[in-house]
Structure 1
Amino acid sequence: MKKISFLLLVTICLSKIIVAQQPDDALRFGWFTPNGTARNIAIGGAMASLGGDISTNHINPAGLGLFKTREFVFSPGINLNNNKINFLDSQSKETRNAFAYGTSGVIFGMPSRYKGAIVSTAFSISLTQLATYNNHTHYKGYNNYSSYSEKYLEELVRDGANDYAAASNYIFGSSLAYRTYLVDTVNTNGQLTGFKSLVPIASGVAQERDEDTKGGLHEVSLSFASNVQDRLYLGISLNVPIMYYTRDLSFSETDISGNTNNNFSFFNYKEHYETSGAGVNAKLGLIYKSSNSFRLGFAFHTPSIMVLTDKIRSEMTTNTEAYAGERKVTSDELNSGNAGEVSYQVTTPYRAIGSISFVLNPVEETKKQRGFITADLEYVNYRGVRYSVSSDNSGDQSGIDYYKALNDVIKDYYKGNINVRVGGELKFDPWAIRLGGAYYGSPYADKTLKANRIMASGGIGYRNRGFFIDLTLSETLNKDVNFPYRLNDKANVFAETKNNRANILATIGFKF
């Protein structure tokens, strides 16, 4: 059995409508592989010193400065997910396919009317999908070490809950467990002295988890760049990240001992959770042609400041046989038919990118160039995610204390890391062939959590008389871990996940 100790977030007793974020949620804001046009993905996303592609709006806006004409771009695609999961030495597989898209938008390149240092300027509006959350995972295994129900015991004991609090203050978790008798009181001489779980952990239970997620992190960009003497390119973009994420989760434990008199048959917990909201960030960059062949690029992405709203509904069904029979309770019953809802602010990690490119046959007329080789190094401070109360709840001290504790855990749980992207292109006018790759290291501070993302890509392109079409296939192997639940008083079991995501993307564009 694989286990790992985890510093559990120590929280105060929250209001019954609070939806608690977890450290895992922080990765949704920063750990994602390259996206963009088909051309950008084909070269591994290594676009920070190249320019001449609308993807630069979201990578290094200085690259927009290479445009001197107007261009429209559209990038439809599809993602094909294949998941392999190992949980407690049990293997499982799941697939999920979904529509995707790359960077799309319009560019207005304008040569300068006047003689001077500024040769041209460019403005662009674009939309891209930074991350997709469309996926389905399912795993199960035999566990005689711990139970999902123990996290409810820890919460009730930690808060010193009485009967009323146990039944009413944790309507999306512990109160459901208490009301269905998954957990019950321990009484001595008529006085409540603690809580117990009815799950027969020592004899073992069959655990099963199913998660279906949808949505994505999108970004609208308004970008501007200038071309200084065809040597130095400066750019800035103002961006609006938009998030929509839903998760339908089911977790169950079933007695497989065959004993019908041990006061436990099964329990099943179901949850519908969604997050939505938007924010703002900026990207700054420059590209410098040190010679006709060599280009150097640098970009800095400020943290995004986002205001998000979480909503949650949950239910639990428990069968304790002769103890209390089968009972079902929903959070709607305990919350006047309403979903739990909370709004909060998130500050995402910053990014810093350095890049170098070598252009083959570096003539000014692009179609006569013979190709290029390019590489990006990107630093992302994953441990820099910060949660805080929204401005509407600035006086909520319990929320302030909770997010402070959560941020402390994130700082311990994650680390900054360097991502590498490389790629190249060979041109045989009007055709082009491209190859690329990317490596994203683990965001976890604990080395025993084996996680990385590796992407390999290739594509072809056709450009003639102001029209172009590019087609790319990329394969991304995502290696990660998934905790079905976390406990404070013992090591935590987790699943090892391998997600193989194929992305087929086309980009169609024309000058106008």
Structure 2
Amino acid sequence: MKKILFIIASLLISNYLIAQNEVDALRYSQNFYGGTARSVSMGSAFGALGGDFSCLSTNPAGIGVYRKTELTFTPSLFYASNKSTYLGSGFSDYKYNFNLNNFGFVAAFNSGEDKGWVNLNIGFGYNRLNNFNNNVLIIGANDKNSMTDYFALRANGQTSTTLEDPENSSYFNEGLAWMSYLIDPDTIINNKYHSALKNYGEVQRKSIKSDGSMGEYLFSMGANYSHKFYLGGTIGIQSVRYEENSVYKELDDYNVIDSFASFTFNQHLKTSGAGFNFKIGTIFRPVDWVRLGFALHTPTLLALEDEYQNSIESDLYANTADGYVDTVITLSSPTGKYQYELATPLRAMGSIGFVIKKIALISVDYEFVDYSTARLRADDYDFYDENNNIQMNYTAASNIRAGAEYRFENYAFRGGYSIYGNPFNTSNMDNNTKRTSYSLGFGIREENFFFDLAFVHSISKEKYYLYNPNMVKNDPATISTTNNQVLATFGFKF
């Protein structure tokens, strides 16, 4: 039996409920390609150039460009900074993370010929696709509504017995609110509820701390035909690890709400899983200085497991004949687990690259992804509402990556730009979460060793609702995110 079923009608809301929903589908469908420092410094635009391990995640035909066996290793330092604005108040938070962005090995087998099948290469390794490390802090004073209104609306139509049953999905949210006296029953209509707060003006505070990553283990093979055609294929095994701890508080800091001091709602979610996909690609070299690339990625079929738990604490008081009586109630839900599957969208890529003598490279990649085609499924639940929301509220997006490299003797100087398109259907909602990145890099190349350094600066903005605006009309917070990343690749040629 599925323990958590929440129909979320708007994707502008946060993952404020522990559920398997369209928010998860988008999180694991977006790829912000990592890889080597050289590739990242050029905007990850290597689809037509090849010869870099990062292309095994984008256009596997690039493995056919290798002429020597190569080993790469790329550690990375990641810094995420967020500024939130909510009801006129602004706050910032940040997080550092040290991680492995890439390791890879390519074995080159040369035929010794310059015509026909020149070489056959195989490779295996890992490229990071997404970094989930983030801290967000939202604070504002709300004189219009409360999360307790949202809990009350969710509780409507349910008996107190249902709300108090830990085997029922209601227990994880409105059930905890009911048992901690944050919502009250209507005195006239059965199974109808309202907020226990007699008026508003509370300070709302939410802290969201997340960590984890999504990466891809790669097994690739490619070939070079007469230095004109390069063909390649990759079997990708994606790994997912995501953990989120959120703490939501409402506090009567200004003493405007009778009998209410505060409440705290804690949520913990941990998702893990893996899945596979297949990629095929080709690079065509019509003339010596031009390269054209094309690649197609099948959907990734992810098998995921969520582990979740909620808890609540209410601090209420009453003015009695004996003075103020303070009551603190703390409750926790059981730990829930649920297994499900996600099919991410198919991806298509086209690329063009220019090799200017042996001193410069220019490359542009175009990627098409239709996020509305992602699908959730499970053996015991059809995900009809969630998949319908995906179709209605997501759309196709274009991702563009561009980069350039200038070489001087053994040194290389690089720059890149990328823009990942907005996945939301703007005809249904006002939210633009496109992500823009700027990058710079430097490299040194010797006969059997190379070292590359890259810096990436990424910016994005999104709207974030503390609770469902279709149930309780509330203003969104605006979160501006800045990610900075430094990567260093150590490479060896054999």
Normalised by the length of structure 1, the TM-score is: 0.88
C-alpha change, 1:491 and 1:22, in structure 2 (3 Å) is: farther
Unaligned segments of structure 1, at least 5 residues: 1-6, 11-17, 362-368
The one-letter code of the counterpart of 1:373 is: I
The one-letter code of the counterpart of 2:442 is: I
Report if the CA contact (8 A) 2:406-2:414 is conserved: yes
Report if the CA contact (8 A) 1:424-1:436 is conserved: yes
Describe the superposition over 1:179-223 as per-residue Cα deviations: whole angstroms up to 9, x where unpaired.
1011122233xx7341111134x5321100001101100110000
* 2:112 corresponds to 1:109: no
* Sequence identity (%): 29
* 2:62 corresponds to 1:80: no
Describe the superposition over 1:332-383 as per-residue Cα deviations: whole angstroms up to 9, x where unpaired.
xxx3xxx10000001112211111011011xxxxxxx111111111111122
Describe the superposition over 1:4-24 as per-residue Cα deviations: whole angstroms up to 9, x where unpaired.
xxx9449xxxxxxx9522332
* 2:363 corresponds to 1:374: yes
Match of residue 425 from structure 1 = 405
Report if the CA contact (8 A) 1:19-1:342 is conserved: no
Report if the CA contact (8 A) 2:145-2:200 is conserved: no
Describe the SS at the equivalent of 1:31.
coil
Aligned positions, number: 471
Describe the superposition over 1:69-98 as per-residue Cα deviations: whole angstroms up to 9, x where unpaired.
211100011001111111122111111110
Match of residue 318 from structure 2 = 322
Mapped to 1, the partners of 2:264 and 2:193 lie a distance apart of 20
Mapped to 2, the partners of 1:310 and 1:109 lie a distance apart of 41
Mapped to 2, the partners of 1:167 and 1:448 lie a distance apart of 37
Question: Following TM superposition, by how much is the alpha carbon of 1:429 offset from its aligned partner in structure 2, in angstroms?
Answer: 1.8
State which of 199, 207, 210 in structure 1 corresponds to 2:207.
210
Mapped to 2, the partners of 1:257 and 1:165 lie a distance apart of 35
Report if the CA contact (8 A) 1:57-1:126 is conserved: no
Report if the CA contact (8 A) 2:33-2:128 is conserved: no
Describe the SS at the equivalent of 2:43.
coil
Describe the SS at the equivalent of 2:171.
coil
Alignment of 1:70-469 (within 5 A): 70-112=69-111, 117-157=116-156, 160-168=157-165, 169=168, 170-188=170-188, 192-200=190-198, 202-259=199-256, 262-322=258-318, 325-331=327-333, 335=334, 339-361=335-357, 369-389=358-378, 394=379, 396=380, 399-400=381-382, 403-446=383-426, 448-469=430-451
Mapped to 2, the partners of 1:102 and 1:214 lie a distance apart of 15
C-alpha change, 1:492 and 1:50, in structure 2 (3 Å) is: farther
* 2:44 corresponds to 1:45: yes
Output the aligned Cα RMSD. Answer: 1.9
Mapped to 2, the partners of 1:166 and 1:96 lie a distance apart of 37
C-alpha change, 1:115 and 1:84, in structure 2 (3 Å) is: closer
Report if the CA contact (8 A) 1:299-1:353 is conserved: yes
Report if the CA contact (8 A) 2:146-2:200 is conserved: no
Mapped to 2, the partners of 1:151 and 1:236 lie a distance apart of 50
Describe the SS at the equivalent of 2:192.
strand
Describe the superposition over 1:206-263 as per-residue Cα deviations: whole angstroms up to 9, x where unpaired.
1000011011001100001111111001111001100011011000112244246x23
Normalised by the length of structure 2, the TM-score is: 0.91
| Regions of 4+ moved over 4 Å | 113-116
Describe the superposition over 1:77-126 as per-residue Cα deviations: whole angstroms up to 9, x where unpaired.
10011111111221111111101332211000111267862111110001
Describe the SS at the equivalent of 1:102.
strand
The one-letter code of the counterpart of 1:222 is: F
The one-letter code of the counterpart of 1:328 is: T
Describe the SS at the equivalent of 1:321.
strand
Match of residue 62 from structure 1 = 61
The one-letter code of the counterpart of 1:223 is: S
Mapped to 2, the partners of 1:174 and 1:193 lie a distance apart of 13
C-alpha change, 1:237 and 1:357, in structure 2 (3 Å) is: same
Report if the CA contact (8 A) 1:346-1:387 is conserved: yes
Describe the superposition over 1:405-463 as per-residue Cα deviations: whole angstroms up to 9, x where unpaired.
10111211211111111110011121111011111121111362132211110111011
Describe the SS at the equivalent of 2:172.
coil
Describe the superposition over 1:277-312 as per-residue Cα deviations: whole angstroms up to 9, x where unpaired.
101111111100011011000111111001100001
